[in-house]
Structure 1
Amino acid sequence: MSDVIVIGAGPAGLAGAIACAENGLRVTVLDEFIKPGGRLLGQLHQEPSGEWWNGIKEAERLHQEAIKLAVDIRCGVSVYNLEKEDQLMNVHTNAGTFTARFVLAATGAAEYPIPVPGWTLPGVMSIGAAQVMTNVHRVQVGKKGIIIGANILAFAILNELQLAGINVDRIILPEKSPLSQKAGEPEEVMKSLLYAAHLAPSPLLRFGSRLMKQDWFRKLGMKFYPKNGVKINGTPMQLRKAALEIIGKDQVEGVRVVDIDVNGTIIPGTEKIYEADFVCIAGGLYPLAEIAAVAGCPFQYIPELGGHVPCHSETMETPLEGLFVAGNITGIESGKIAMAQGTIAGLAIAKAAGKGTNQSLQQAVQNVRIVREKAAIQFNPEIDKGRMKMKELWEEQYADCKKAYKIG
């Protein structure tokens, strides 16, 4: 029997497994994909320093380091339930039940779907799927595409598609609706993108990003936003156009688009069809935290972290004794931050098992703050505010009574 079971072989899970194993704990890592690495496998971007972040190489480095420490990594294993029994955690999977004293849930994030009429046609995919097909499976998703949804994830993956020689014709918004919410409102989209100006080599976004964070200047900027959009590495981002329908008979053939005003309201008589053979829908990310929920871990809704997240401390423990969390399950951030959080969780587990030191754990907590400050990609601009909310919640409700917490 292992001392620790890690659910998820992404950056947080592998880093956590390594930290546990370095402190003498027996670790088993479970992941439903065919190989370890998680979202790292699709990542490829240039850092502000000029260095390239190659997720595949980083995943391989973590994998090899874990193997050297005798970490048992089992891929193709799907976890469907997690329950606490006395002092042990039972992890139920399609390969049987695994039992350990500690569990690290590092299940990552999933993409928000934005329903668009015609989205079941072959050739329509999420922006994350396009990233995996391109960078992991080396499959060309198409020759000429359109991205529906303008957000930081779309920015990052647009660059990766372009590096692979794939032509992305334009980025437009989804039609404003209760389902698309703020993703269909040009001003709200612009507000979020201003924090990603460094990812978009656009003079307008770079020069105006500070000024446009002021409401009055942003409203003025949206009023005079260029009709043909602002180019990002040659691809126009058209915040005043929305997708009404993806069209095609047997596969994607184009997108029916309409002009919209600054509030996302359709301007009648402006419909036009743009040809494309693939469409990527970019709805953003949310924490994939169901496994912590079924275990009975309490949650808190914190928009700055990306949605509902399991309650946790700075050292990644939850009120459910024996359960720790790390990575995007705790809030949407970059792969580097997920790795730093995984290290914290691993060291916290080692300390709880009587094998780690408080000094190394506190150093890891400080390191994640440093990594966050230097992060090239911030999916949620008010992440620090969200982290502070969670810290205050933990200190108010769980710090003194964690071990007495009872399910139900």
Structure 2
Amino acid sequence: MSELVIIGAGPAGLAASIAARECGLKVTLIDEFIKPGGRLLGQLYKENDGTWWNGIKETDKLVARADNLGVEIKCGISVYHLDKYEHGWSVYTNDGIMQTPYVLLATGAAEYPIPMSGWTLPGVMSVGAAQVMTNVHRVKVGKKGVIIGANILSFAIMHELKLAGLNIECMILPPKNEISKTAADPMEVMKSLLRASHLAPSSILRLGSRLMINESLRKLALRFFPKKGISVWGIPFHLRKAAIEIIGEKQVEGVKIADITVDGEPINGTEKIIPVDFVCISGGLYPLAELAAVAGCPFRYIPELGGHIPQHNERMETPLKGLYVAGNITGIEGAKVAIAQGFVAGYSIADNAGISTETVKQKLQQAIKNVKYIREKAIIQFYPNVKENREKLYGTYQYI
């Protein structure tokens, strides 16, 4: 029997397995995908210092460390239930039931879908699926496409698709409806993108973004937003155009778009069709926390962290004895924060498992400090005021 079962072999799960195994715990790391790495596998971007963050290479480093330490990594394993018993947890999988005193949920995040007319046609996919197909499987998803949904995630992946040689016609907003909500509101989209203005590919865009801190200026800028859009990495970004319908018989053939008002309402008579053969839809990310709910873990709703978050403290402990969380299940941040949280969880579990040496305690405290440091240095923040909302969450933590 493993002393620790980690569900999710992404950046947080891999890091936690390394930390816990370093401390002497017997660790089993499971994931439903065919290989470890999670969303880390699809990441490829340039750092501020000019170096490249290559998710596949970072995954290889973490997997090699885990393998060398003797972590048991089992892929192709799906978990459908967690059950608490007197001395630990039963983990129900498609490969049988595993029993363990400690469970770490490192299940990551999922993408918000934005349904619209034509979205079930072959050739329509989430922007994350396009990233995986391109960067992981090396499959070209089409000849010419449109990205529907403007957020930090879709901009980052648009750049990756551009680097891979895909032809992106433009980025536009989704249709305004009950599900798309703020994703279809030009003003809300503009405000959300200001958090990433330092990543803008030109000095003019960066300067313009800094001038937009005043709401009146934002409204003025939105009203006079160029009809031809703003070029981002050579791709037109339209804040005043939205998709109305995805067109096609047996597969994607085009996207019907229309000009929209500052409130996101389509303007009659402005419709036109852009011929494309693939469409990427992006509604942002939310914590993939169903297993925490199944286990009976209490939640907090914090929109600034991505939605419903399993209650936990900075040691990654939930109020349920023996159950821990790390990575994007705790709130949407980047892979580097997820890795740092994974190390916290691994050392925290070892400490609670009775390996309470001075070395383990020192490593745990240093790992907690490292999470805060990496969070402050992060070049991408998916949601605003992450630090303040983390502190609010930790301040309400209570054991059951």
Q: TM-score, normalised by structure 1?
A: 0.96
Structure-2 residue corresponding to 1:145: 145
2:378 matches 1:378? no
Q: Which has the larger displacement, 125-134 or 383-392? A: 383-392
1:204–1:246 CA distance, 2 compared to 1 (3 A): farther
Q: 2:364 aligns with which of 355, 361, 364?
A: 361
Q: Deviations over 1:196-235 (max 9, x none)?
A: 1233314453112222122111111111111111111000
Structure-2 residue corresponding to 1:327: 327
What is the correspondence of 1:194-343 to structure 2 with a 5 Å cutoff? Answer: 194-343=194-343
Structure-1 residue corresponding to 2:178: 178
Q: Secondary structure at the match of 1:83?
A: strand
Q: Which has the larger displacement, 240-249 or 383-392? A: 383-392
Q: Secondary structure at the match of 2:53?
A: strand
Q: Secondary structure at the match of 1:257?
A: strand
The one-letter code of the counterpart of 2:396 is L
Q: Deviations over 1:224-262 (max 9, x none)?
A: 111111111000110100100000111111100000011
The one-letter code of the counterpart of 1:197 is S
Identity %: 62
Counterpart-to-counterpart distance in 2, 1:208 and 1:330: 33
Structure-2 residue corresponding to 1:162: 162
2:76 matches 1:76? yes
The one-letter code of the counterpart of 1:376 is I
What is the correspondence of 1:24-43 to structure 2 with a 5 Å cutoff? Answer: 24-43=24-43
Counterpart-to-counterpart distance in 1, 2:354 and 2:66: 21
Q: Deviations over 1:4-61 (max 9, x none)?
A: 0000000000000100000000000010000000001100001111110000001111
Counterpart-to-counterpart distance in 2, 1:15 and 1:388: 23
Q: Secondary structure at the match of 1:147?
A: strand
Q: How many residues align?
A: 397
* Equivalent pair of 2:197/2:210 in contact (CA under 8 Å): no
Counterpart-to-counterpart distance in 1, 2:190 and 2:202: 13
Q: Deviations over 1:127-178 (max 9, x none)?
A: 0000000001100001110000000000110111011100111000011111
Q: Which has the larger displacement, 171-180 or 375-384? A: 375-384
- 5+ residue gaps, structure 1, are none
Structure-1 residue corresponding to 2:192: 192
Structure-2 residue corresponding to 1:126: 126
The one-letter code of the counterpart of 2:93 is T
Counterpart-to-counterpart distance in 2, 1:219 and 1:331: 30
Runs of 4+ in 1 over 6 A off after TM superposition: none
* Equivalent pair of 1:304/1:385 in contact (CA under 8 Å): no
Q: Which has the larger displacement, 381-390 or 33-42? A: 381-390
Structure-2 residue corresponding to 1:389: 392
What is the correspondence of 1:51-90 to structure 2 with a 5 Å cutoff? Answer: 51-90=51-90
The one-letter code of the counterpart of 2:309 is V
Q: TM-score, normalised by structure 2?
A: 0.98
The one-letter code of the counterpart of 1:360 is K
- 5+ residue gaps, structure 2, are none
The CA deviation at 1:265 is 1.4
The one-letter code of the counterpart of 1:388 is E
The one-letter code of the counterpart of 1:290 is E
Q: Secondary structure at the match of 1:222?
A: helix
Q: Deviations over 1:172-203 (max 9, x none)?
A: 00111111100001010000011112333144
Counterpart-to-counterpart distance in 2, 1:184 and 1:362: 42
* Equivalent pair of 1:202/1:230 in contact (CA under 8 Å): no
Q: Deviations over 1:366-385 (max 9, x none)?
A: 10011011112111122112
What is the correspondence of 1:340-351 to structure 2 with a 5 Å cutoff? Answer: 340-351=340-351
Counterpart-to-counterpart distance in 2, 1:146 and 1:18: 40
Structure-2 residue corresponding to 1:103: 103
Counterpart-to-counterpart distance in 2, 1:203 and 1:260: 28
* Equivalent pair of 1:309/1:330 in contact (CA under 8 Å): yes
* Equivalent pair of 2:186/2:262 in contact (CA under 8 Å): yes
